[in-house]
């Protein structure tokens, strides 16, 4: 079972994301931004983001898992990052953990006391030992090993908050149409 919930899903501030994007000299695997808006994608998007409409997430999930396998930080967002963005992030986390194991996603901060964390680690080790035994016996499915413990988070305030600060900045935002966001 995943350690992540809506309550402890990490959030990234707009200013932190903009600083990280500006610090990138060229696209690399340190950061990916996934925009899960649907028809409301018009009016601009974060430069370099990938558009994966929420209603197509099921179709895109295997591709995202493969393409983002070595990415250090993955940031999901929708218009406000209240429903589609967090839901997509949680779905991605669960799929990544199922494919690569729980350690493939960096643990959310404040997930239990040290004793609870030790108990959870012991339970995970026992489950892994049982899984290894089943695999040795020819049962069960083999999990792939993820090369990096990925940080997965949601952009606080979504594109609405982003465009308030960075909409007109062409270094950070593409295809921005201010008029579409004035009364949003």
Catalytic sites, residue numbers: 78
Spatial CA neighbour of 61 closest among 87, 88, 40: 88
- For residues 65 and 54, give the distance between their C-alpha atoms in angstroms, rounded to a whole number: 16
* CB 156, CB 21: distance < 8 Å: no
Q: Please state, in angstroms and rounded to a whole number, the distance separating the CA atoms of residues 174 and 47.
A: 5
The end-to-end CA distance of the chain, in Å, is 37
Residues 6+ apart with CB under 8 A from 162: 14, 17, 46, 77, 155, 173
CA 121 to each of CA 4, 93, 132: distance values in angstroms, whole numbers, following the listed order = 15, 18, 16
Determine the longest span between alpha carbons in the chain, in angstroms: 63
Q: Between helices 84-100 and 57-67, what is the axis angle to 10°?
A: 50
């Amino acid at each position: 079972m995943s350690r992540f919930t809506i309550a402890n899903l990490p959030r990234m501030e707009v200013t932190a994301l903009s600083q990280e994007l500006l610090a990138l000299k060229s696209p690399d695997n340190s950061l990916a931004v996934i925009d899960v808006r649907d028809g409301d994608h018009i009016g601009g998007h974060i430069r370099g983001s990938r558009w994966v409409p929420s209603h197509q997430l099921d179709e895109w999930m295997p591709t995202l898992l493969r393409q983002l396998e070595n990415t250090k930080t993955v940031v999901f967002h929708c218009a406000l990052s209240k429903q589609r963005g967090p839901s997509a992030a949680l779905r991605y986390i669960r799929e990544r953990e199922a494919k690569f194991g729980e350690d493939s996603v960096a643990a959310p901060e404040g997930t239990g006391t040290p004793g609870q964390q030790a108990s959870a680690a012991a339970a995970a080790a026992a489950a892994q030992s049982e899984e290894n035994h089943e695999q040795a016996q020819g049962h069960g499915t083999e999990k792939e090993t993820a090369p990096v413990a990925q940080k997965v988070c949601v952009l606080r305030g979504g594109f609405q908050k982003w465009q308030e600060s960075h909409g007109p900045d062409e270094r950070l935002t593409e295809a921005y149409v201010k008029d579409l966001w004035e009364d949003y």
